[in-house]
Chain A
Amino acid sequence: MEEWNFPIEAGHIMMFARAVGDPNPVYYDGDKAKSGEVGGIVAPPTFVQASAQFNPNYFLRPRIGQPWFGSGKEPTSAQRAERAPSGGARSGGGAGGGGGGGGVGLHAEQHYEYHRPIRPGDVLTPTNKEGKSWERTGRSGHLQFNETVTEWHDAEGNLVVTARGVGVRTSGPAPSSEEKSD
């Protein structure tokens, strides 16, 4: 796996906070944030998920010059077998997945432990560890769960956030809404 970092940028935090509907000035207004308890802009609690932007191998982002499995002229522009590999979204702190492989990959759980707030200027490095795997048979067929633990360290080597994601892959086309969803 190619090594990569997640550089924390104020503009990215602002866009992410907007996307999750959070107008708290601590996410975009440096002056207000400075006078508050945390003394400056910090990232919202789920922000490390946006590390996907910087993961060179992240498969749920169209690659320049390569076929994408979403619709274009046709409902999907990639052959089934060529579509997203199972569990491929793991590196980068998330679980989850895409279509393809005859089933659907979804994000079942996400857990974070915070060791200190993330701030603009931090450069975080992910270390991925495979977690547990388990299976379950549900109403929509066979479900395969895979856990990944990602530790995010800063440039000084201090642990900043520990992220544990669980992805689920179904064997059928679409899970019923009673079961795991993304």
Chain B
Amino acid sequence: MALSASQLKVGDSHTAVVVDNLSRTQIVQYAGASGDYNPLHTDEIYVTKVAGFPTVFAHGMLTMGLTGRLLTDWVGDGRLLSYGARFEKQVWPGDTLTATATVESIEDGKGGQVASFTVVTVNEAGDRVLSGTASARLDP
């Protein structure tokens, strides 16, 4: 179910909630799966008393992973050529994140048409937590 270039135009966008009320447990789950056990993400005592943050916060890579689903759900499996992100703000337990990908260009590339996207993920207050880009190979 890949995107087809003929059905897509510059300016088209796709938006989805990628996590609703992020749980501390999901942050732990990401730590376990990724292998990043930094206590900043999972250890309330360390993060408040030693590191000086109000509470634990999500790995940036969890936000990037959650946002990645928006892309692959839209462009199809195995279609991404690139995906990059800048982590703009911390993501906290309880946050609900909404991601949007927007088509910036559609061009002839190696092996067919390539769409380039901007990607933005915001929290429930509308603050940007991730901004990025992606590109994907399209069907004709």
Q: Which of B27-64 contact A (CB under 8 A)?
A: 29-30, 32-43, 45-46, 49-53, 57, 59-62, 64
Q: Is the CB of A112 within 8 A of B66?
A: no
User: Which residue of chain A is the closest to B61 with respect to CB atoms?
Assistant: A49
Q: Is the CB of B90 within 8 A of A173?
A: no
Q: Is the CB of A111 within 8 A of B82?
A: yes
Tally of contacts, chain A with chain B, CB under 8 A = 186
Q: Is the CB of A98 within 8 A of B57?
A: no
B-side interface residues, number (CB < 8 Å): 55
* Residues of chain B contacted by A174 (CB below 8 angstroms): 51-53
A interface list, Cβ under 8 A from B? 12, 15-16, 18-22, 24, 26, 36-38, 42, 44-46, 49-55, 58, 60-62, 68-71, 75-76, 89, 94, 96-99, 104, 106-114, 117, 164, 173-174, 177-178, 180-182
Q: Is the CB of B73 within 8 A of A24?
A: yes
Q: Is the CB of A22 within 8 A of B69?
A: yes
B interface list, Cβ under 8 A from A? 1-2, 18-19, 26, 29-30, 32-43, 45-46, 49-53, 57, 59-62, 64-66, 68-69, 71-73, 76-78, 80-91, 129
Q: Is the CB of B87 within 8 A of A108?
A: yes
Closest chain B CB from A77 CB (angstroms): 9
Q: Is the CB of A70 within 8 A of B46?
A: yes
